[in-house]
Amino acid sequence: MQILHEILLEKMQIYGIKDKAHLLLRSYLTNRTQKCQVNGVVSSEHKVKCGVPQSSILGPLFFLIYINDLSECLNRTKPRLFAEDTNLTASGGTINDVENAANSDLENLRMWLSANKLSLNIAKTEFMLIGSRSLVHTVSDSNSVKHND
């Protein structure tokens, strides 16, 4: 996941990190460069525009600030967040209710991810249906939960 500095700094201001504290954190995040060495060959320096310094104490806090507003885009599911993992739970009286709720909020999530310059890792994304045997047996191929890139 790549945290863009400008988006993070904007969110910090929204959450009340302003003035000298904001300037200090801006200084900490911006104007950094990096280069790498492979088999004795050193690359040229490149400006770092995203991410946070590795193993930094502030890294987890920056991530939480970055995703803090994610739940605001979800209207029909309940989010549960742990570190960088997010679980959306949809419930309803019928399979169609659950399908509609999940699809609605997946679209909302897609728009939030796009606005925050993030992407959904499809390889790590799963859908699980939990319910009574009689209800689960009513699921057909026409029922689907979709994520549109």
pLDDT in tens, 88-136: 999 988 888 998 999 999 999 999 999 999 998 888 888 888 877 777 7
Q: Are 126 and 145 in contact (CB under 8 A)?
A: no
Burial of 98 per CB tally in 10 Å (0-12, 13-18, 19+): buried
pLDDT for 17 equals 97
Q: What is the pTM of this model?
A: 0.81
Task: Give bridge partners of residue 46 from the DSSP assignment.
Answer: 34
What span, in angstroms and rounded, lies between the C-alpha atoms of 147 and 140? Answer: 18
Q: By percentage, how much of the chain surpasses pLDDT 90?
A: 55
Q: Are 40 and 103 in contact (CB under 8 A)?
A: no
State pLDDT tens for residues 76-92: 999 998 878 899 999 98
pLDDT for 52 equals 82
Task: Answer whether residue 148 shows pLDDT above 70.
Answer: no
